[in-house]
Amino acid sequence: GAVVSQHPSRVICKSGTSVKIECRSLDFQATTMFWYRQFPKQSLMLMATSNEGSKATYEQGVEKDKFLINHASLTLSTLTVTSAHPEDSSFYICSARTAHGDTEAFFGQGTRLTVV
Protein backbone atom coordinates (compact mmCIF):
# COMPACT_ATOMS: atom_id res chain seq x y z
CA GLY A 1 0.00 0.00 0.00
CA ALA A 2 0.91 3.64 -0.25
CA VAL A 3 3.16 5.14 2.42
CA VAL A 4 2.53 8.32 4.36
CA SER A 5 5.31 9.61 6.56
CA GLN A 6 4.88 12.09 9.40
CA HIS A 7 7.69 14.02 11.02
CA PRO A 8 8.52 14.40 13.81
CA SER A 9 7.04 11.43 15.64
CA ARG A 10 7.46 13.18 18.98
CA VAL A 11 8.03 16.80 19.88
CA ILE A 12 8.20 18.71 23.14
CA CYS A 13 7.98 22.47 22.99
CA LYS A 14 7.62 25.38 25.37
CA SER A 15 4.41 27.33 25.76
CA GLY A 16 4.19 30.20 23.33
CA THR A 17 6.36 28.66 20.65
CA SER A 18 5.24 27.28 17.30
CA VAL A 19 5.64 23.73 16.09
CA LYS A 20 5.53 22.44 12.53
CA ILE A 21 4.47 18.90 11.67
CA GLU A 22 5.08 17.49 8.21
CA CYS A 23 3.03 14.91 6.36
CA ARG A 24 4.52 13.40 3.21
CA SER A 25 3.17 10.92 0.73
CA LEU A 26 6.26 8.96 -0.25
CA ASP A 27 5.21 6.99 -3.30
CA PHE A 28 2.08 8.65 -4.57
CA GLN A 29 0.62 12.05 -5.24
CA ALA A 30 -1.92 13.19 -2.70
CA THR A 31 -4.31 15.88 -3.86
CA THR A 32 -6.10 15.75 -0.54
CA MET A 33 -4.65 15.38 2.94
CA PHE A 34 -6.47 15.32 6.23
CA TRP A 35 -5.35 16.36 9.68
CA TYR A 36 -6.78 14.69 12.76
CA ARG A 37 -6.36 15.15 16.46
CA GLN A 38 -6.67 12.31 18.91
CA PHE A 39 -7.04 12.70 22.66
CA PRO A 40 -6.02 9.85 24.97
CA LYS A 41 -8.38 6.89 24.71
CA GLN A 42 -10.60 8.76 22.29
CA SER A 43 -11.43 8.69 18.63
CA LEU A 44 -9.95 10.76 15.85
CA MET A 45 -11.42 14.19 15.34
CA LEU A 46 -11.01 15.70 11.90
CA MET A 47 -9.45 19.14 12.13
CA ALA A 48 -9.15 20.15 8.52
CA THR A 49 -9.03 18.98 4.93
CA SER A 50 -6.12 20.19 2.90
CA ASN A 51 -6.17 20.39 -0.90
CA GLU A 52 -3.03 21.00 -2.89
CA GLY A 53 -2.73 24.59 -4.02
CA SER A 54 -5.77 25.89 -2.17
CA LYS A 55 -6.77 26.93 1.31
CA ALA A 56 -7.58 24.27 3.83
CA THR A 57 -11.15 23.65 4.92
CA TYR A 58 -11.43 23.65 8.70
CA GLU A 59 -13.97 21.80 10.77
CA GLN A 60 -16.26 23.72 13.04
CA GLY A 61 -14.55 24.77 16.24
CA VAL A 62 -11.01 24.50 14.89
CA GLU A 63 -9.13 27.80 14.95
CA LYS A 64 -7.53 28.27 11.56
CA ASP A 65 -5.20 31.00 12.85
CA LYS A 66 -3.89 28.65 15.47
CA PHE A 67 -3.57 25.54 13.32
CA LEU A 68 -2.01 26.71 10.08
CA ILE A 69 -2.15 24.22 7.24
CA ASN A 70 -0.15 24.45 4.05
CA HIS A 71 -0.39 21.98 1.18
CA ALA A 72 2.13 23.43 -1.21
CA SER A 73 2.84 20.30 -3.25
CA LEU A 74 1.21 17.01 -4.14
CA THR A 75 3.42 15.17 -1.67
CA LEU A 76 3.64 17.50 1.32
CA SER A 77 1.24 19.10 3.77
CA THR A 78 2.30 20.85 6.95
CA LEU A 79 0.43 21.65 10.14
CA THR A 80 1.84 24.46 12.27
CA VAL A 81 0.56 24.83 15.81
CA THR A 82 1.13 28.48 16.60
CA SER A 83 1.64 29.91 20.09
CA ALA A 84 1.26 26.46 21.56
CA HIS A 85 -0.33 25.96 24.97
CA PRO A 86 -0.41 22.87 27.18
CA GLU A 87 -4.01 22.18 26.09
CA ASP A 88 -2.69 21.72 22.55
CA SER A 89 -0.81 18.65 23.72
CA SER A 90 -2.23 15.76 21.77
CA PHE A 91 -1.59 13.12 19.13
CA TYR A 92 -1.86 14.56 15.63
CA ILE A 93 -2.33 12.23 12.66
CA CYS A 94 -2.45 12.99 8.97
CA SER A 95 -3.89 10.95 6.17
CA ALA A 96 -3.67 11.26 2.41
CA ARG A 97 -5.79 10.19 -0.49
CA THR A 98 -4.39 9.65 -3.96
CA ALA A 99 -5.15 11.83 -6.92
CA HIS A 100 -7.45 9.10 -8.23
CA GLY A 101 -9.77 9.74 -5.29
CA ASP A 102 -9.86 6.03 -4.61
CA THR A 103 -11.42 4.30 -1.70
CA GLU A 104 -8.50 4.24 0.69
CA ALA A 105 -6.95 6.89 2.87
CA PHE A 106 -3.45 6.16 4.09
CA PHE A 107 -2.38 7.33 7.51
CA GLY A 108 0.88 8.62 8.86
CA GLN A 109 2.31 7.24 12.06
CA GLY A 110 1.24 10.26 14.07
CA THR A 111 3.02 13.00 16.03
CA ARG A 112 2.89 13.20 19.80
CA LEU A 113 3.00 16.88 20.76
CA THR A 114 3.70 17.84 24.35
CA VAL A 115 3.62 21.51 25.30
CA VAL A 116 5.30 22.32 28.61
Partner 1 sequence: GEDVEQSLFLSVREGDSSVINCTYTDSSSTYLYWYKQEPGAGLQLLTYIFSNMDMKQDQRLTVLLNKKDKHLSLRIADTQTGDSAIYFCAVRTGGGNKLTFGTGTQLKVEL
CB-wise, 47 or 115, nearer to partner 1? 47
Q: Report the interface residues with partner 1, using CB under 8 A.
A: 1, 4, 6, 32, 34, 41-44, 46, 49, 93, 95, 97, 101, 103-110, 112
Cis amide bond preceding 8, omega within 30: yes
Q: Is 70 exposed, middle or buried (0-12, 13-18, 19+ CB in 10 A)?
A: middle
CB-wise, 77 or 95, nearer to partner 1? 95
Least distance from partner 1 to the Cβ atom of residue 104, Å: 6
Residues in the chain, how many? 116
Number of CB atoms found within 10 A of residue 56's CB: 21
CB-wise, 49 or 82, nearer to partner 1? 49
Least distance from partner 1 to the Cβ atom of residue 83, Å: 26
CB-wise, 5 or 70, nearer to partner 1? 5
Residue 7 and residue 21 in contact, taking contact as beta carbons nearer than 8 Å: yes
Least distance from partner 1 to the Cβ atom of residue 39, Å: 11
